[in-house]
Amino acid sequence: MIGDYLRVVYTIARKDLLVESRSKQTTNAAFVFALLIIVVFSFVFGEEVGSRDVLARGALWLAVVFGGAVGMSHAVALEGKNEAIAGLLLAPVDRSAIYLGKVASSTVFITGIGLLSLGFVVVFLDYAFDMATLTTVLLVVPLAALGFSAVGVLLSILMLHSQLQESLLPVLLVPLVIPTILSGTALTAPGLSEGMTSAWFRILVTYDLLVLLAGWMTFEYVVEE
């Protein structure tokens, strides 16, 4: 039973990633948006902000959040074409597995945006992360992407047929992922004490589990609306 459930989750995630790997529409939009944010930071704040650490962290997480929001709105808009999502929901599988599959594919996608944005920060802001901070970033980005995706998939489905979906999604999404943004910016700060690192990690993991559980429990009711 559990094996069948996980197989559905894997199939949904694999389908989303295959579709995106062939079209690359969502990937291109999100990556270009993330790049523009970091380039603007470089030109506008490069010489004005005294702390390069603050500048790099701010640019990185803004690129992840808004690049992810743009990418997610494009991805769900594709599901709305020709009622593809309706056909998917007619499949004789547990709808919560569809939710987890979409969260998994979105997590992979947003993690990719985060890692690419990390490279953009190094190149355009001329900022080098020390090895300890870089290791933490590589761990934090997937965790932050998971919480972001758990909320984003649910909101995207809710606004699937809204004419203001692409403009409204970031407005609704950003306030709901504030714990992710705060945890991410804090954990990527250099020289963070061991106690504070542990505390912020607990906040991030707890938030991820709570929003993932809430989405898993409510997805079936959301898609019926």
Taking residues 161-175, report their average pLDDT: 72
Closest Cα partner for 62 from 94, 39, 92?
A: 39
Angle at 127 between CA 55 and CA 112, to 5 degrees: 85
**Rounded Cα distance, 195 and 199, in Å:** 6
**Rounded Cα distance, 203 and 180, in Å:** 9
Tens digits of residue pLDDT in 216-225: 988 888 777 5
User: Higher confidence at residue 157 or residue 9?
Assistant: 9
- What pTM, to 2 d.p., does this model score? 0.87
Structure tokens at 208: 């991820």
Tens digits of residue pLDDT in 94-146: 888 888 988 998 899 889 888 888 888 888 877 777 787 788 888 999 999 99
Separate counts of helices (H) and strands (E) for the chain: 9, 0
Q: At residue 155, does pLDDT exceed 80?
A: yes
Q: Tell me which DSSP letter residue 70 carries.
A: H
Structure tokens at 221: 């009711």
pLDDT of residue 205: 94
pLDDT of residue 225: 59
Tens digits of residue pLDDT in 51-109: 677 778 888 888 888 888 877 776 666 666 666 677 777 777 888 888 898 899 889 98
Tens digits of residue pLDDT in 171-205: 888 888 899 988 888 888 877 788 888 899 999 99
pLDDT of residue 162: 64
Closest Cα partner for 180 from 214, 144, 222?
A: 144
pLDDT of residue 80: 64
SS3 92: coil
Q: At residue 49, does pLDDT exceed 70?
A: no
